[in-house]
Amino acid sequence: MQVKISNFGATITSLSVPDNNGKLADVVLGFDSVDPYVNGLAPYFGCIVGRVANRIKEGKFSLNGVDYTLPINNGPNSLHGGNNGFDKKTWEVAGHKKDGDKPFITFKYHSADGEEGYPGAVTVTATYTLTSATTMRLDMEAVPENKDTPISLAQHTYWNLSGHDSGNILDHRIQIWGSHITPVDQHSVPTGELLPVKGTPFDFTEEKRIGDRIGEVGIGYDHNYVLDCADQEKDGLKHAAKLRDGESSRVMDLWTDAPGVQFYTGNYVDGVVGKGNAVYGKHSGVCLETQGFPNAINQKSFPCVVVKAGEKYKHTMLFEFSA
């Protein structure tokens, strides 16, 4: 496999893996140059989002007796860290090895106190490692320096295992190791409930075609799944999802230590001109963003996303490809 990553947003711009005949294809949506990313044409293609991924209701939260207000950039909510989140920052390259055993690259970013309305300065690192010929690992860490602050990072790659330029992902099959979702209101913010998926269009506890019941959930899937306690583990990580493309026979298994995964079917992608002049339309890719629960800072029943000053946030993802 081969992966290309930019230090703008710690963004995966290309990832090529073989099919069952050994034929390589680039399976992530993106652009040929950095300019469209910098100019805001990418709907979060391939990047790391933060300081807090997903939506915070009305861009407001309270912490340690102080009220905080964030930029509103998604309906009435604050999404993916605000107007200029980590996806729109130039990260420092803190270390890298291009070839040999377990090539890696480490990106580092310093987020200032008050950046996008969030309290406290935070130092963030993200290390991508090719741990085998068909496996990529991402280790994200963040340390608040002087104040407690919410932190929940996510990797926002859009996957199309047929190839980035092959059309929509409705024929992909997926299994998600989550028997509940966090249902949302009309503005895509979780209500605080946990809804069993059994018997609903959200049930992917057994492998199913993505397009089978997508018409029953509005414009498509954009929901957080509560990951079940691991019955399968790898390197201390639980199985989150398995994505399969029948045409190429490529399979991606995703493992994580995060409590949730956002299953998003590219519902708002509309005529984006990408690599090789491919035109990406609705459902051209699928995102599997392991994460803390959306709006957890305002939902006391959700797993806490507050990291205390001096303590370390950790989040690992393992992407395992086969055919």
Which uninterrupted H or E stretch holds 291?
strand 286-291
Tens-digit pLDDT profile for residues 290-308: 999 999 999 999 999 999 9
Q: Is the pLDDT of residue 231 over 90?
A: no
pLDDT of residue 76: 98
Q: Using the structure block, give the residue that is written with the tokens 């480490």.
A: 106
Average pLDDT over residues 55-83: 98
CA 218 centroid distance within chain: 21
Average pLDDT over residues 99-109: 95
For all residues of the chain together, what is the average pLDDT?
A: 97
**Strands 78-79, 233-234: pairing kind:** unpaired
Q: Which residues, other chains included, contact 236 with Cβ-Cβ below 8 Å and sequence gap of 6+?
A: 257
Active-site residue (options: 116, 141, 289, 320): 289
pLDDT of residue 287: 98
Q: Is 296 helix (H, G, I), strand (E, B) or coil?
A: helix
Active-site residue (options: 156, 164, 172, 223): 156
Q: Is the pLDDT of residue 230 over 90?
A: no
Percent of the chain with pLDDT over 70: 100
Which uninterrupted H or E stretch holds 137?
strand 135-144
Average pLDDT over residues 230-244: 90
Q: Is the pLDDT of residue 180 over 90?
A: yes
Give the pLDDT band (50/70/90) at residue 233.
Answer: confident
Is residue 289 flagged as an active site residue?
yes
Instruction: Give how many domains the chain has, as a whole number.
Output: 1
pLDDT of residue 193: 97
Q: Tally the residues of the chain.
A: 323
Q: Is the pLDDT of residue 65 over 90?
A: yes
pLDDT of residue 239: 97
Query: What is the distance between the alpha carbons of residues 147 and 48, in angstroms, rounded to a whole number?
Result: 22
Annotated binding residues, written as ranges, equal: 54-55, 156-158, 222
pLDDT of residue 190: 97
> What's the CATH number where 239 sits?
2.70.98.10
Q: Which one, of 36, 30, 41, lies nearest residue 278 by Cα?
A: 30
Tens-digit pLDDT profile for residues 215-229: 999 999 999 999 998
Average pLDDT over residues 65-86: 98
User: How buried is residue 99: exposed, middle or buried, by Cβ count under 10 Å (0-12/13-18/19+)?
Assistant: exposed
pLDDT of residue 63: 98
Cα dihedral 50/127/306/149 (nearest 10): -60
pLDDT of residue 57: 98
> Domain range for residue 55?
2-322
Is residue 156 flagged as an active site residue?
yes
Annotated binding residues for beta-D-galactose, written as ranges, equal: 54-55, 156-158, 222
Query: What is the distance between the alpha carbons of residues 29 and 263, in angstroms, rounded to a whole number?
Result: 16
Return left, alpha or beta for 62; rule: phi > 0 is left, psi -120 to 50 is alpha, else beta. beta
